[in-house]
């Protein structure tokens, strides 16, 4: 486990914003991989109230707190409530802060931030890109090379029941305490070096902080094991390399979870789904069906008339002209949000922020200066009117190309970073349009 600058902890605490999340596929195997390897004695459960989980996380000081069975079901409200509960707990852990409250006499009561490490199981993962960036998600498949080795797990359960793991942890804590000041002094530099190594490796780049904090705890534990001659130097190095590789693979898989929740990609995927399903459509600059692949843009043939007749479906959200796509941002955003209504998986940012994110990801083909300020929406003469629209590449609405386009354009060095662009063009935070 790892400590933090300023005050040594035997588990994550202030400054250590990492949790592990096990996506459970059923059965007690994944639950038994945590929490003392005993699936029947877990301290927390997601059926508990928000305040109960907050209290548990506060009282579980310097220890691992297991919260079992994150499973979303029932009505939309129930699903949203479960995700809000997860957001509250994990965000408090990541920010090392608790909810502030007032007492009856309106004085400020002491906050109760999490003081240990939250370790959870679930059949689903919490929503939101920023939240998932604070959580290490580890899936447990039923079969394949990464499936649980049930024979090995049974042996580990027996070791835990006999007290071997408790004995090892006791020895580790005594070893840490004997050199508390020395470890405390060197911990920040060691963590920083591992963070840089994680970022430079590429494989760990998406979650360098999580990787670094887990790795530094591992390194200290291996040092302890070698000092008591439980392992020799060769075994120590082999274990380090094996675990570093495993952390890299976990971080690489983490990228898929984070990418699926990236707001701009999510927005474009939802707009694509809305158009292809006929909930809305994109027209030519003249307001008629696009000359190329009208079906892909939300148009359907009128079987009662000639084969060249096309009917638009739903609301118009934009126009297409060759490789150029012009979106009415408010209409497109509203359609995307409507499509998420049944699942509760909404786009968790506002429209002005979405426009800014589209720019940051390099997905806007052009911007313009208007009224003395830089504008992310451009004006175009469309269907006899000048309209303010978002100018994108027409291929952005094809989901198989969205992810690669985002990745490629994000590395574009010719495009000013948002802060520099905003300062140069005089854009203020509340005027992103």
Q: How confident is the model at residue 402 (pLDDT cuts 50, 70, 90)?
A: very low
Choose between 359 and 141: higher pLDDT.
Answer: 359
CB 317 within 8 A of CB 282: yes
Beta pairing, strands 64-70 & 44-45: parallel
Tens digit of pLDDT for each residue in 55-87? 999 998 888 888 988 888 777 778 888 888 988
pLDDT given for residue 9 in this prediction: 36
What is the rounded distance in angstroms from the CA atom of residue 428 to the CA atom of residue 430? 6
Give the pLDDT mean for 267-293.
91
Whether 423 has a pLDDT exceeding 90, the answer reads: no
pLDDT given for residue 189 in this prediction: 94
pLDDT given for residue 431 in this prediction: 52
pLDDT given for residue 34 in this prediction: 47
Backbone dihedral region for residue 37 (phi beyond 0: left; psi -120 to 50: alpha; all else: beta): left
What is the rounded distance in angstroms from the CA atom of residue 115 to the CA atom of residue 57? 6
Question: Which of 5-14, 86-95, 133-142 holds the top average pLDDT?
Answer: 86-95
Query: pTM of this prediction?
Result: 0.64
pLDDT given for residue 304 in this prediction: 57
Whether 393 has a pLDDT exceeding 50, the answer reads: yes
Closest CA relative to residue 346, chosen from 255, 266, 230, 427: 266
pLDDT given for residue 33 in this prediction: 44
The region of weakest confidence among 17-21, 190-194, 217-221, 252-256 is 17-21
Whether 46 has a pLDDT exceeding 50, the answer reads: yes
pLDDT given for residue 16 in this prediction: 39
What is the rounded distance in angstroms from the CA atom of residue 261 to the CA atom of residue 255? 10
Structure tokens at 431: 């005027």
Structure tokens at 228: 């008591």
Whether 404 has a pLDDT exceeding 80, the answer reads: no
Whether 121 has a pLDDT exceeding 90, the answer reads: no
Whether 201 has a pLDDT exceeding 90, the answer reads: no
Tens digit of pLDDT for each residue in 218-268? 999 999 999 999 999 999 999 999 999 888 888 877 766 666 678 888 899
Residues, the chain, total? 433
- Give the percent of the chain with pLDDT over 90: 34
């Amino acid at each position: 486990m790892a400590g933090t600058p300023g005050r040594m902890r035997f588990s994550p605490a202030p400054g250590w914003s990492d949790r592990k999340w096990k996506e459970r596929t059923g059965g007690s195997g994944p639950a038994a991989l945590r929490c003392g390897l005993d699936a029947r004695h877990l301290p927390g459960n997601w059926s508990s109230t928000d305040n109960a989980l907050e209290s548990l996380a506060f009282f579980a000081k310097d220890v691992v707190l297991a919260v079992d069975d994150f499973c979303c079901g029932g009505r939309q409200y129930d699903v949203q409530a479960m995700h809000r509960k997860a957001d509250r707990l994990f965000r408090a852990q990541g920010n090392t802060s608790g909810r502030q409250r007032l007492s009856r006499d309106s004085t400020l009561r002491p906050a109760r931030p999490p003081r240990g490490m939250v370790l959870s199981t679930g059949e689903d993962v919490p929503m939101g890109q920023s939240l998932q960036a604070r959580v290490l998600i580890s899936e447990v498949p039923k079969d394949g090379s990464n499936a649980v080795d049930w024979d090995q797990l049974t042996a580990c359960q027996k070791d835990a029941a006999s007290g071997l793991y408790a004995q090892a942890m006791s020895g580790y804590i005594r070893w840490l305490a004997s050199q508390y000041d020395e470890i405390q002094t060197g911990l920040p530099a060691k963590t920083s070096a591992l963070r840089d190594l994680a970022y430079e490796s590429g494989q760990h780049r998406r979650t360098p902080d999580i990787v670094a904090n887990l790795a530094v705890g591992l390194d200290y534990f291996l040092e302890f094991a070698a000092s008591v001659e439980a392992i020799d130097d060769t075994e120590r190095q082999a274990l380090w390399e094996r675990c570093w590789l495993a952390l890299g693979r976990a971080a690489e898989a983490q990228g898929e979870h984070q990418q699926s929740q990236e707001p701009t990609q999510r927005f474009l995927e939802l707009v694509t789904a809305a158009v292809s399903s006929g909930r809305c459509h994109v027209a030519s600059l003249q307001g008629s069906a696009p000359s190329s692949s009208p079906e892909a843009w939300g148009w359907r043939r009128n079987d009662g008339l000639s084969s060249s007749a096309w009917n638009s479906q739903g609301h118009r959200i934009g126009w297409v002209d060759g490789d150029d796509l012009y979106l009415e941002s408010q209409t497109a955003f509203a359609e995307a949000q409507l499509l998420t209504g049944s699942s509760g998986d909404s786009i968790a940012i506002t429209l002005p922020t979405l426009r800014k994110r589209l720019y940051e990801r390099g997905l806007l083909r052009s911007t313009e200066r208007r009224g003395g300020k830089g504008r992310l929406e451009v004006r175009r003469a469309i269907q006899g009117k000048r309209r303010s629209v978002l100018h994108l590449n027409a291929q952005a609405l094809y989901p198989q190309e969205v992810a690669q386009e985002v990745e490629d354009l994000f590395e574009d060095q010719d495009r000013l970073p948002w802060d520099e662009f905003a300062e140069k063009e005089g854009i203020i935070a509340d005027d992103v349009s």
